[in-house]
């Protein structure tokens, strides 16, 4: 009976771990702001309208082979001590990625 319990425990833990890994990207695919939900594909104007001004912004042009350029904007939002900071990355005027940063306020990453 203990061998059967061990097998059941291994299967249960494996399924739980797999479900957690599969759910993790969705957790950072969206971001809730005061005036709405933010998701990939939005324009900077739509994000600013829903979330207000970011605490940090950076704009640059990145070269991508084979010979084209992408306009990149990165914004950081700090929504309080109890929530993770988020880095929003826009490419050519569309939100492409939302990344979780630290909870530490006042500490912005070096970009």
pLDDT at residue 5, as a whole number: 73
**What is the tens place of the pLDDT at every residue in 49-96?**
999 999 999 999 999 989 999 999 999 999 888 888 999 999 999 999
This prediction has a pTM of 0.66
- Give me the residues paired with residue 29 across strands: none
Residue 12: the pLDDT is 62
Higher pLDDT, 67 or 110: 67
What per-residue confidence (pLDDT) applies to 97? 95
Q: Domain-by-domain residue ranges, the chain? A: 2-100
Percent helix / strand / coil, the chain, rounded to 5: 30, 35, 35
Q: Which residues of 68-104 are buried (b: 16+ CB within 10 A; e: fewer)?
A: eeeeebbbbbbeeeeebbbbbbbeeeebeebeeeeee
């Amino acid at each position: 009976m203990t061998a059967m319990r061990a097998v059941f425990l291994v299967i249960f833990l494996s399924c739980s771990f797999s479900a957690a890994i599969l759910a993790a990207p969705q957790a950072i695919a969206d971001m809730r702001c005061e005036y709405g939900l933010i998701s990939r594909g939005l324009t900077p104007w739509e994000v600013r309208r829903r979330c207000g001004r970011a605490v940090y912004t950076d704009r640059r042009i990145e070269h991508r082979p084979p010979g084209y350029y992408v306009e990149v904007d990165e914004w950081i939002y700090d929504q309080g001590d109890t929530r993770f900071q988020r880095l929003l990355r826009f490419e050519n005027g569309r939100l492409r990625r939302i990344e979780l940063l630290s909870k530490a306020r006042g500490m912005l990453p070096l970009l």
